[in-house]
Every structure is written in structure tokens, then in C-alpha cells.
Structure 1
Amino acid sequence: MATVAFLGLGVMGYPMAGHLEKQGHKVTVYNRTTAKAEAWAEEHEGGFAPSPREAAEGCDFVFSCVGNDDDLRSVCLGPEGAFAGMKEGAVFVDHTTVSAKVSRELAEAAAEAGIGYVDAPVSGGQAGAENGVLSVMCGGAEAHYAAVEPVMAAYGKTVKRLGEVGMGQTAKMCNQICIAGLVQGLSEALLLAEKSGLDGEALVDVISGGAAGSWQMVNRHKTMLAGQYEHGFAVDWMRKDLAICLEAGNEVGASLPVTALVDQFYKDVQTMGGGRWDTSSLLARLKAFS
């Protein structure tokens, strides 16, 4: 069993850290809001620290799941950052969805300190984190990945190395592109069904087992048909991710027209006051514009 730290206890990080503790690892957590770290420590009989540096001291592995590029830099760098407290040979594993650029930047800083670095964004949402069945897309040196892969199995159903640092984030961008297109297509189908007098539930029952089927269709159609969006992955976060997708596309010369279009549709949802709605709220936008 390993000695680990987990930085960031949001809807994903809180249960992920819990799975590590349940597997017998010695876990110390850090969260910007200390009360949440204290609550986690009380619930899981683990420890908490007032700074990333103190949480990381003496750990074999340090995991993070925070908000964006700047949040990640803040928990890694500086005198109170995790890198300042990590022992030589330890491995830092980042589960945040950030740009491949910042992952490579931080990997270089980690290497200078004698620390390994693995970028490991996840897919599966809050339910996947709570149930310990996330898909984990990893980039990093083979030795660093091999060391941490058995530990990530505590919450990862599928854990895979896809190349050097940055490739995990690139894979996550591909994942978000697929989701954006799928949700828009599903929204248009459900709108057409409704406008045509076709029962949406019956429609999904027929087509979900065929070539049109998807996780989004199976898991989101009921709430979409009911106009319920106060759950799941927020539009605000999806727009952050799609901005990274579009920037990455520009960097390598990949045309992403559907991604750019759906990103603007999500901007409309934000204007409607739906920044915290689930990404399936593209259907609400269609209804408002129909």
C-alpha cells in the first residue's frame, strides 16, 4: 500500500480520494476550502493538510483534480506547492482536464525536482467517480505510469497509457469532441420527435440498441425529455474544455468545425442562465430557438 496525497475535493476528487483510502492506501487530502478537507478526513479516517506542500511531504504519489490550468499551477508550484514537498522519485498524477501545454510545462518543472509526472484526465462523470469506474487516459514515461497504474485502479475501470506527457490530455479533448457532437445530434433527434408527435421514450427504446445508440442516449434521454438539467457535467466546464480542444486544433492544424459550432451553442445556453446545467441542455437551447 502507498502513502498518497490528493489535492482537490470537488465532485470528482472527493470520491476518488475515498476509493484510495478504502483500498488501504494512507491518504492525506488538501482542498482550498479547508472545511471540505476536514469533512473528508473525518468521514474516511484520513488526514488533511493546510497546503499542497504539507500534504505531499513523504508521499509516494500525489494526485490532483482541480479546476483549470491556473488552479493546477497553483497547487504544483511555489513554496507552498506540492512539488516543494515531494520527495525525489515520487510521482505526481494530474486528473484535471487542462491543456497538454500546461501538462508538459509542469512535467518539466517536476523533472527538474526529480519528480515523475503523469497527466491522467478522467471520463465518466460524478457517477463514475462515486462508483469507481472511471476511464483514465494517461500520458507520461512508461516507468512512472507503471508505478502508479495499480493505485489508480482504485477508481479506474479502464486505465491506459497513450504516450508521453500531454497525450492523456489530448485523448480527453477527443473524448469531449465526441460528446459535444453526440449531445447535439441527440438533442436534434428528440426535438424532431417531439415536433412530429413521436413519443421520445419509445423512439429511444427502438434506436438505442442500434447504430445510433450511445451512453448519452441511454443515460440522458429521460432527463432531457423531462427538461431536467440540474445535474451532471456543467456547461461552464464543457466550454472550458472545448476552448482547449479548439486551441489544440489550431496548434496542430486540425479543422474542428462541429466542435466550434457546438461551443457557440453552449455559449447560448450560458446566456440563457444555464452555465451550471448539464451538457444535455443543448435540447433546451433548441427549444428556445425553435
Structure 2
Amino acid sequence: MDRQALGFCGPGLMGAPMIGHLLRAGHAVQVWNRTPAKAEALVAAGASVAPAPRALAVNADVVLLCVADAAAVEAVVFGEQGLLGAGAAVRTRCIVDHSSIPPDVTRALAQRAAALGVAWVDAPVSGGVAGAQNGTLAIMAGGAAADVEAVAPILSAYAARVTHMGAVGAGQTTKLCNQAIVTATVCAIAEAVSLARRSGIDAAKLPEALAGGWADSTLLRTFVPRMTQDGLEPIGALRTFQKDVETIAAAAAQTGTPMPVSGAVQQILRLGAAMGLADADFSGFVEILQTPRGGA
């Protein structure tokens, strides 16, 4: 793998372990985060800290983003101190966005970057925190074939595979397909856990009982323990699932795609937010469904 000078914005639950893999692969990585302490925590591993995103564009050949939403992506790239903010001297020739944002927003941002001579690869990921930690993420990429091919060796530091899905925006659309499957499945698992509990059986034994059958899956084995045990570290917040499902709904409306299951999940997540569970772990679906007997 070619060792390159890289920038990385967003060392959070996913970004921090991804940066660790890049450093171990021998890349020089400069990091920026809105909360400086999260960036500074990576100095001991070999990263350097940038005072603002603009500094990354001056020093890095490729800048990778892993931030919360479309507004954050736009601010990091085109804000006053952004990577491509007005008057910025730019060494960067490609931005790789691991954030999950709407495909149409991605295309608009990529056009603005292209006008400044900077390529854009939308590269959302799947595999969760464990995948980031283990370096086994699945990356679905959108962009020019040459641009995806150029950054693939970098992404291989933390991805088991990088699949080129088409032009800019195609990666984000693929991630919406992924999230439609994931959120519906986690919701179904929560329903199964609730049914098991109310039927007087040990819900924690569902993965064992269903192992090898059609219901067996990574999600089943991940989320039943999270729904039946206390004290586990969170791996994400329901507000993230809600953001993604709202984006799915918008894409479905734009394309005339009927998605009744995602629509039901959307309403359950909105209910969870109204219940004050927006910051609950992904497994918080089961809390939304825990209406006391006789209370509904």
C-alpha cells in the first residue's frame, strides 16, 4: 500500500479505530474533531492534530470524513475554516466521505468540490464499531472508477472489501438499502425478544435456539444480548437510525418506491424519540416496545 499523507475529520466511535488502522498501516494521519479531546486522544498512537479542517487540506493528499450528518459534512468541507473554504490553499485532491448522508446532497457537494479540482468519493460503511475495530468494514463506494481505485488501498487498512457501486451518490444509495435491512431487522428482533419475554421464555437463549436456522444472523447474535443484558457499552444511538430512516423515506418519495416496512420502522423511531429514547443504544428498540401489559 502506498503510504500517503492523510487527513481525517471525525474520530468518534467509528472514526477512532479507523484512524488507528491507518496509522498501523504506516500512513501519516492528521486529525481534526469538533471536540479537540477526541483528536488529541490519538496523538499517542502517532496521529497529529489539526487546529481546523483547513489545515488538513494544506497537508493531506486525501482527506477522509466520518461525521454526523449532511450539515456537518458541508461545514467541514465548505465552512469558514473548512477544507475547501474560500481562499484555502489546497493540496488535497480527493475527499472520501464515510458519513451517511442523502445521495442528492452528496452529488451537490461533489459538484462544488469538482469545481475546485477536488474529486469526491462517497464511501459509507457497514459493520458497526466492531467492524471498525477489527478492520473488517464493508465499504460501498460512489465516484469515478479511477478515484475509487486510487483510494481503495487506503481504505483496505480498515475494510474487508470496497465495492464500487457507480457514480457519486451510488455509495450513499447503497447504504440506504443497507440501513433499510438493518433497521427493520433490529426492530423485528426487538419484537421477538418482547414476545419471548411475555410468553415466559428466556429471550437471552434465542440466538442459541435459532443458530443455523433462517433467522440466524450477525444482527440476531449482536442484539439479543444487548436487549437482554445490562451494562454493555453502547455501539450507537437510535437518533442515528432515525436519521437514516428519514433519509430512506425521502429517497423512496423521490423515486416512487413503496417501502411500507421502513415506513413502520420510521414511526417506531419517531415514537422512541418522543419517549426520550433518541440517545438510547441501537438496542433501544426493545424499550420502545415495552408497553406494560394492559397499558395499550
Asked whether the two chains share a fold, i.e. TM above 0.5, the reply is: yes
Moved more, 130-139 or 62-71: 130-139
CA deviations on 1:104-158 (whole Å, 9 max, x unpaired) are 0111111111111100011111222122111111100000000000100011112
CA distance in 1, matches of 2:63, 2:233: 32
Q: Check whether the contact 2:65–2:97 (CA below 8 A) recurs between aligned residues.
A: yes
1:104 is paired with a residue of what secondary structure? helix
CA distance in 1, matches of 2:218, 2:280: 18
Structure 2 residue 223 is the aligned partner of structure 1 residue 220: yes
CA 96–85 in structure 1, closer or farther in 2 if over 3 Å, else same: farther
Q: Which residue of the other structure, out of 172, 180, 184, is the alignment partner of 1:181?
A: 184
Following superposition, which runs of at least 4 residues in structure 1 exceed 4 angstroms of deviation? Answer: 227-230
Which residue identity does 1:119 align to in structure 2? Answer: D
After TM superposition, list the pairs within 5 Å mapping 1:90-109 onto structure 2: 90-109=93-112
Which residue identity does 2:40 align to in structure 1? Answer: E
Corresponding residue for 1:276? Answer: 279
Task: Show structure 2 runs of 5+ residues with no match.
Answer: none
Structure 2 residue 18 is the aligned partner of structure 1 residue 16: yes
Structure 2 residue 115 is the aligned partner of structure 1 residue 112: yes
Corresponding residue for 1:195? Answer: 198
CA distance in 2, matches of 1:65, 1:48: 16
Structure 2 residue 171 is the aligned partner of structure 1 residue 129: no
Q: Check whether the contact 2:103–2:173 (CA below 8 A) recurs between aligned residues.
A: yes
Corresponding residue for 1:65? Answer: 66
2:290 is paired with a residue of what secondary structure? helix
Which residue identity does 1:61 align to in structure 2? Answer: V
CA distance in 1, matches of 2:63, 2:45: 18
1:277 is paired with a residue of what secondary structure? coil
CA distance in 1, matches of 2:229, 2:273: 20
Task: Show structure 1 runs of 5+ residues with no match.
Answer: none
Q: Check whether the contact 2:189–2:223 (CA below 8 A) recurs between aligned residues.
A: no
Corresponding residue for 1:39? Answer: 41
CA 26–264 in structure 1, closer or farther in 2 if over 3 Å, else same: same
2:162 is paired with a residue of what secondary structure? strand
TM-score by length of 2: 0.92
Which residue identity does 1:45 align to in structure 2? Answer: G
CA distance in 2, matches of 1:268, 1:21: 41
Structure 2 residue 87 is the aligned partner of structure 1 residue 86: no
Count of residue correspondences:
288
Report % sequence identity: 38
2:279 is paired with a residue of what secondary structure? coil
CA 56–268 in structure 1, closer or farther in 2 if over 3 Å, else same: same
Structure 2 residue 215 is the aligned partner of structure 1 residue 206: no
CA root-mean-square deviation? 1.7
Moved more, 235-244 or 43-52: 43-52
CA distance in 1, matches of 2:206, 2:7: 47
Which residue identity does 1:194 align to in structure 2? Answer: R
After TM superposition, list the pairs within 5 Å mapping 1:231-242 onto structure 2: 231-242=234-245
Which residue identity does 1:218 align to in structure 2? Answer: R
Which residue identity does 1:55 align to in structure 2? Answer: L
More helix by share: 1
CA distance in 2, matches of 1:210, 1:155: 30
1:82 is paired with a residue of what secondary structure? coil
CA distance in 2, matches of 1:198, 1:38: 47
CA 85–256 in structure 1, closer or farther in 2 if over 3 Å, else same: farther
1:254 is paired with a residue of what secondary structure? coil
Q: Check whether the contact 2:69–2:100 (CA below 8 A) recurs between aligned residues.
A: yes
Corresponding residue for 1:142? Answer: 145
CA distance in 2, matches of 1:20, 1:81: 23
Q: Check whether the contact 1:48–1:55 (CA below 8 A) recurs between aligned residues.
A: no
Which residue identity does 2:10 align to in structure 1? Answer: G
2:96 is paired with a residue of what secondary structure? strand
Which residue identity does 2:76 align to in structure 1? Answer: V
Q: Check whether the contact 2:191–2:289 (CA below 8 A) recurs between aligned residues.
A: yes
